[in-house]
Every structure is written in structure tokens, then in C-alpha cells.
Structure 1
């Protein structure tokens, strides 16, 4: 069994652990150093573009369903766990040489479990990366997010790239190789 695991995509799971640890440590730092919802307690990193803040997200991405009474916390937690289990099975079935899908799945798992931890421990997700643009007298904000969200987004992006571009090339190469036999 361990031989199969070492030849499978599960060897990429340390990437998930790194995402979870970076997410956890960054949120711990935020909790201890940036007051929640304090309009004067933010840290401006790049003037009029990027700040470190401390907000709590009761919902999903962009606070989707944040005001729905609590059922969404259980739902999003179950989705994170279900997706993580499904991706673990996919990684187990993948070869270790399937780099892009395995790294994508590992990033998604790390992000999903990082935010799941917050939902279990705090009943909300801690967000702190705040990008905004002041233009024409108005301020345009991108919703605050965290390291776990970055893991999910980068993982999904890489998987889409794989599905749209790399997988087709791999399939063409395999067909050409089989035609030559």
C-alpha cells in the first residue's frame, strides 16, 4: 500500500500542509496584532491600494449567504470536507507524474481545510488581505480574503489551465505515440 501511495499524487500533500500552516500562522498574527473591524486599526501596506485588516466572514466567498442564520456554516463546512475527500481520492488515483492536477488539488485541499478550521473553531473565517483602488473620488474594494482563499483560487486556476491546455496536449501526445506502434 505505501508503495502505491508513493507513486500516487498523494506525495503532493505537503503542499496542503504548507498552505494550512501559512494560513493558520497568518490568521494567528492577525488575531494578536490587528483589532477586528477597527477603522483605525488597519495596516496600510501600499498607499491607496493594499492594507492588512481584520474582518470575520460568516458566509462563503465574498460573504455569500453571511446573513442566513447559521445553517450556511455547516453547509460550507460539509462542502469543504466533501471536496477535500474527493480530491484526496483523485490524488490517490493520479500518478505522481501528474504534476499540475496534483499540485492544484493539494492547494485546493489546503485552502478548504484552512478555512474549515476557522469555521469549526471561530464559527467564521478570518479575512485580512484588503485590496482597493481610489479612483475618481471613489474607493473600489475587492472583498477581503486570506491565504486559504489564495490556495483555493490558485489551485482552481492551475486546474483550469491543465484542463484547457495541458490535458489536450497530453492526450494528443498519447494518441501520436499509440499510432506509431
Structure 2
């Protein structure tokens, strides 16, 4: 009798939570903010409703519209790869599955915006004096944290492999 190894797909609840929180915060931003008018919170932070038709940092935002479908296809492809990757990871792993599901939840949140609105809703604006970082949202934050966690995982895995070879 073969024993079936349980996968890290159990972490999909985290992707769902990121997705739901992202959509909820964007809807709140749409309801409470006026487009392009900042609501100052701190000297370095405000909420400003903005729409991004491109990718991160408004990459390709000024194109004729083809980028909407290009980024939609990329989001779908990356999401599929992440789910397959999660299925292959053992359930006992935590760090990498959390990283992957943060990225997945963020990708799905921005994908939803592209499909429903034709643009991504951004509203978090960080700045120092007159220098502004591009506006972002909860999905972007989850993707960034997940990517940083993946980078840390790669470094730590490399150290573990080097220690194993040395012993």
C-alpha cells in the first residue's frame, strides 16, 4: 500500500486571505478617496487613489491597451506554476509555501482588477519630502514580501547545501 504525501496546498487559504483583503481594501479606497487627491496620514505616507494600466512602477502603462491582456496572461501563467509548485512541496514545509501563496494571492488580486476594471487600483503612497515611490496596494505588498521570502529561502538553502557538502 502506497502512502500518499500531503502537499503544501493547505497554504492556499493564505492566498485566498490576501486576495479577499486586497479586493476589500481597494473597494474601500474607491468608496472613500477621490482620484488623485491625497489624504495625508503621516509625513511619509498618504492614501491616493490611482489607476495603473501597466505593471510594477507603471511599466508599459501608456501603451494602447495590449498590455492589459499581456499582464493577464502572465498572471494566469505564474499563478498556475505557483499552484503546481505548491502541490509538489511537502506539507511539512512552511517558509517557501507561505512565500509562494503570498505571491499567488497578490497576483490574483491584481489579475481581478485587470479583468474587471482594465487597470489595477493603487492607493498607498509612500514619499520623502517631494520624492514619491510609485503608488501600490495590498496585492503588491504581498508579492514583494513573498519575493523577499523566496530570495531568503534561496540563500538559506544554499548555505544548508554547503554545510551538508562540508560535513
For the superposition of Structure 1 and Structure 2, which TM-score range results when normalised by the shorter chain? over 0.9
Tell me the residue number matched to 2:45: 50
Query: Which of 130, 134, 155 in structure 1 is aligned with 2:146?
Result: 155
Deviation at 1:4, TM superposition (A): 5.0
| SS state at 2:152 partner | helix
**Separation in 2, partners of 1:69, 1:99:** 42
Q: List gaps (5 residues or longer) in structure 1.
A: none
Deviation at 1:36, TM superposition (A): 1.1
Q: TM-score, normalised by structure 1?
A: 0.86
Deviation at 1:172, TM superposition (A): 5.1
Whose radius of gyration is greater, 1 or 2?
Answer: 1
Q: TM-score, normalised by structure 2?
A: 0.93
CA deviation profile, 1:89-121 (whole Å, cap 9, x unmatched): 000000012211111110000000000000001
Query: Which of 101, 104, 107 in structure 2 is aligned with 1:106?
Result: 101
**Separation in 1, partners of 2:4, 2:111:** 29
Instruction: Give the RMSD, CA atoms, in angstroms.
Output: 1.7
Runs of at least 4 residues of structure 1 off by over 3 A?
169-176
Equivalent residue pairs, number: 165
Q: List gaps (5 residues or longer) in structure 2.
A: none
| SS state at 2:61 partner | coil
